[in-house]
Structure formats: C-alpha cells, structure tokens
Amino acid sequence: MNFQSESLQTEVVVIGAGPVGLTMAIDLAGRGIDVTVVEQNPEEVSGDAKCNTIGARTMEIFRRLGVAADVRAAGLADDFPTDVIYTTAITGEELTRLAFPSRSGRFAENGRTAPGYLDSHWLTPEPYCRVSQIYLNPILQNAALSRGNVRVLFETRFLEFEETEGGIRTRVEKRNGEEVIIDAAFLIGCDGGSSAVRRQLGVRLAGNAELAHTRTTLVRTPELIKLFPQEPAWMSWVLNTRITGNVIAIDGKELWMIHRSLTQGMNTFEDLDLEQSIRDVLGVDKSFKWQQVSHQDWTGRRLIARKICHGRVFIVGDAAHLWIPYAGYGMNTGIADGHNLAWKLAAVLRNQAGDAVLDTHEVERRPVMERTSRLAMGKALEYAEATSRKKVRAVLEAEGAAGVAARKEFGEELFAINAGQFASEGLNFGYAYEASPIIAYDGEQAPDYDMATATASTVPGSQLPHFWVDGRSVFDLLGDGYTLLQFGDQVPGDDTAGMLSAFADAGIPLAHVRVPVQPAPFGSLLILVRPDQHIAWRGDRVPAAAQLAARVAGRLQPAVCT
C-alpha cells in the first residue's frame, strides 16, 4: 500500500459501531485503552430492529460497564408485559402463553427477581430484558462517546489494512472522500455478516447457508395493540393455513416488527405478498391501515468463521458467526465474544499478560459459538417441523369442541418446545471454557448444559455463580482485574499474602475480597476470578503462586496469533 493522507494514532481500531463494537469500545476504554471506532453510518442512525432480546449474561456485562440501568429503562413502557404467545392471528385464538413480567414487575422489593416466572430461579442480579436494538445502540453510543479515550469516526468506510512492525495500519475513507490512516496495535472487525475485514483476511464461513427465508417489515400503527382479544404480548407467534410469522412490540404503543416466513412451495420473496401477508398475520382485512417504516428480506443461516484470530486482527460478533435471530442469540453471543477479548487485549497492551493470552480467545469462544449455533438451529428446526403440518393448522381455527381440543393439545406442545428458547438459562450461564491454557484445572468436569438449563459450578473455566453479600451482588465487589474471593478466615494468612505478592510481582492486578459466609455450591475456600467473571483457579491452599500467576497471564506458552 502507498498511504498519503491524514494519520491517527490509537491502540485498538474497531470496525463497526453496532452493539458488539460499541460494547468492546466501552470495555476497552474502561481498562484505560485508547480506541478508535470506524462506522460507515451517520451518528443519528439507530440499529437494526430485528434483535429485541438482551440476555441476562449481556446485562451482567452491561452492569459492569455502567449502562445496565439505562438499557433496562429503554423501549417498552414500565407496565407492558413481555409475554410470548402462540396464536392463530393477532385477532385469533391464543394457543399458549409464556408469561414474563413487565419492567415494573421484574424485581421484588428486595431487589431480587420476582417469583413465579420461568427465569425466577436464575442466579443473576440482571435478568434478561426485551429492548430493541434501535434503543440499545444510542445508549451504547452515548456511553462510548462519553469516555475520553474513545473516538468514533462516523460516515467513514473501512478500506483495507496491512500489518506493520508490531502493529496494524488501517486505511479508511470519510464520506467526503478524504482518506485517513490509523496506526494501532490491534484491529477488531465488528462489521457484521458481510464483514469487509473478514473478506480481506480470506476467511470462509462454514455451516448451513440457508435455513429460513423471512420478510420483515417495521410498521407504525397505534391501532394494532387494540387487536389483541386478551392482554397484549411482547412477541406473538402466528400460525394458520395462510401464513407463519410473528409480531414484536418495539415500543408497546405504535411500532411493531412483523416477520413472515416463506413456506413450502414458495420459491422467492415475491411469492409472499408484502401487504396481504401482514394482514394474514394480524387477522385483519384491507380496512386496517399502517405506515411502513422499513422493510427487509433476509435469509436465516448457521455459519461460523473457520478462524477468528489472525495475527493482530480479530473478527467478532456477526463477522464471526451468523444464525437465525429468533431470541437474540447472535448479538448476545457477540457481546460475550467481545468481553472475552477486551480484557485480554488490555492486559497485553498494559504488560499484564503475555501475547499468548490472545490465542485463548479462539480456544475459549469457538466451542461456545458452535454449541450455541447448533442449539439455536435445532430449536428453529424443531419449531418448523411442528408447525409445518397444515392439517393441524386448519383445525386450530375450527369452532366447537374439536377446535378447543386441538388448540389445547397443540398449545401444550408449543409451550414444551419453546419455553427453553425464551428462558434460555443454559445459553446464558451453562458454558465453561474447558481447554484453555490460562485456566488452572483440577480434574473435575464442568456440568453439561442445554438451551434451557444450567448447573451452578465453581469448576475452573465456569462462570462465577452469582450470590448476594450483605445485600450487594458479588459481581459489584469484583476488581477490574483478577479477584481472589476468600470465604471465611480458615485460609492460612501466608497463602493469600503470598498470592497477592506473586501477582503484584508479575504485574497482574489482583483484588482480595473476603466473604464471611460460603454459599453453595462453593466448596473451596479460595476462588480466583478473571476479569470476565470466569473462574481461573480454586482451592483451599495456594500452590506455587508465582507459577499460577504465570499460567493465568499466558506466560507459560509461546504466542501463535501474534
């Protein structure tokens, strides 16, 4: 390349200001890293409305970053229910209802999750919330811009990068044609499913290229909420002999996202009439009016990049994986990907870890991507199989005893299929990192999980189970770096002192938090927690503290990525 243009210096360049890129920028900035974000859209453009679920694990990350309260307050009104229903049409016969609370009903007086819902038993201070990305993006954008060490270049297009001695040089172009050269230590491609960064790397996606074809229209009509014969729902899945689709309440007042699926026998999107298909979902005639705000035809996929770490360049979020966005799997997994990478980049840049720690991003996150994508695909295919039976759909709209019986039976089947999808404890908390060289394993296997269920565990590699300490979340007590949790006073004093000294000598920040009461399932007196809240080590005595510090900092093996 022959560069002749304006130049900028930064530590990390992030391509893409969607939720994943902005969360990474906020995370890195909070760790003292200078970040430049490149975004091709104008500052005032909100995100895509297709993603409307923010998972509990993501909300925990947002809590750490100081934006959880703002996110939870956005979108739907305080009293709007976040129920999920299955129905023959918005005006039709309800088949089943998955009951979830409104924002005002989410927490009990003591700050704990309100009882009686599918997720009430979860060990978290931050249960999921239903907020559209069109409200999430501005919150994250404002949070990023409020950091003094984040620069966002709006209306700027990524062109190409090249590796330099010890860094990455990136060429971008402003809307007016002016080119800018950005010199940085690392480049992160968070630029979506058609990632230009991934294309330049020559990385291919592998998996299932076509799983579903969907027409999505964002409409504005205050009359739609009046169509519900019972209490309105946040998400309404519709199936009848004419159409399958769903309706999502974006603001709970007048903005609604309406999905319609191409069914068997349809070859192109043109086979599904845009306006009539909306009427079939709603169960209305031509007298019902709406304003079309936006429209998109898209294909659901299950694809994962063959490699996500390439020297000093990483791809994160939709750039690294694509799958059907039924319950926000892609965005939430992408944010967890970025959280895994951000603290490692910061540790390397601040000489708190060796370069080899970056290799563990792929080792740790790729199995999670693969497992999540297969669980999501399996659920989508299971639902598609159940709803493809046209004879079943026909009797669902029948009058009399036959219709009542069919609706009851099929409603129970739909509840069983989908409860885990919308209360996916396993996807939020079930996974553990099982083969990472920067985790000190002790021979015990982490519990298995599925989409709906997870088992709290302190096996190294697992997520730290949440518990309350004198009315405060343990997550709020953790340091910005590593944290040594000590339960009770039974640990010999020289053990903890030696560990604190060893980590200090290695240049690794380590906070020491004493917890007076040991909650289940904590069988060890000491728990070493990483910056991303995964457990790095546990025990009752500290063995060779200097060796442990070297392991968790990635100084026991050579670097591959860089």
386 in Cβ contact with 417 (< 8 Å): yes
36 in Cβ contact with 184 (< 8 Å): yes
- β partners of residue 219: 256, 292
Which pLDDT score, from 0 to 100, does residue 519 have?
82
Question: How many residues are given for the chain?
Answer: 562
Which pLDDT score, from 0 to 100, does residue 559 have?
72
Which pLDDT score, from 0 to 100, does residue 3 have?
46
Which pLDDT score, from 0 to 100, does residue 405 have?
95
Q: How many CB atoms lie within 10 A of CB 115?
A: 8
Cite the residue boundaries of each domain of the chain with CATH code 3.50.50.60.
Answer: 6-76+125-206+303-361
Cite the residue boundaries of each domain of the chain with CATH code 3.40.30.120.
Answer: 432-552
Which pLDDT score, from 0 to 100, does residue 111 have?
75
Which pLDDT score, from 0 to 100, does residue 268 have?
85
Reply yes or no on domain 6-76+125-206+303-361 having CATH 3.50.50.60: yes
The four Cα atoms 363, 367, 369, 371 give a dihedral, to 10 degrees, of -170
Residue reference for tokens 């840049």: 349
**Cα separation of 316 and 361, whole Å?**
10
pLDDT in tens, the chain (562 residues): 444 568 999 999 999 999 999 999 999 999 999 999 999 999 988 777 778 999 999 999 999 999 999 999 999 999 999 999 999 999 999 999 999 999 999 998 777 889 899 999 999 999 999 999 999 999 999 999 999 999 999 999 999 999 999 899 999 999 999 999 999 999 999 999 999 999 999 999 998 877 788 999 999 999 999 999 999 999 999 999 999 999 999 999 999 999 998 877 787 888 899 999 999 999 999 999 999 999 999 888 889 999 999 999 999 999 999 877 666 788 999 999 999 999 999 999 999 999 999 999 999 999 999 999 889 888 888 888 888 877 777 899 999 999 999 999 999 999 999 999 999 999 999 999 999 999 999 999 999 999 999 999 999 999 999 999 999 999 999 999 999 999 987 766 667 888 999 999 999 999 999 998 888 778 888 999 999 999 999 998 887 899 999 999 999 887 776 6
**Cα separation of 14 and 21, whole Å?**
6
| Phi, psi values for residue 156, rounded to 5° | -130, 130
Which pLDDT score, from 0 to 100, does residue 492 have?
64
458 in Cβ contact with 391 (< 8 Å): no
Which pLDDT score, from 0 to 100, does residue 329 have?
83
Which pLDDT score, from 0 to 100, does residue 326 have?
65
What is the pTM assigned to this prediction?
0.95
Q: Which of 181, 201, 194 is nearest to 18 (CA)?
A: 194
User: If one looks up domain 432-552 in CATH, what number appears?
Assistant: 3.40.30.120
**Cα separation of 535 and 427, whole Å?**
18
Tens of pLDDT, residue by residue over 6-25, are 899 999 999 999 999 999 99
Tens of pLDDT, residue by residue over 75-107, are 999 999 999 999 999 999 999 999 999 999 999
Residue reference for tokens 């009293």: 79
Kindly state the helix (H) or strand (E) to which residue 157 belongs, with its residue range: strand 156-164
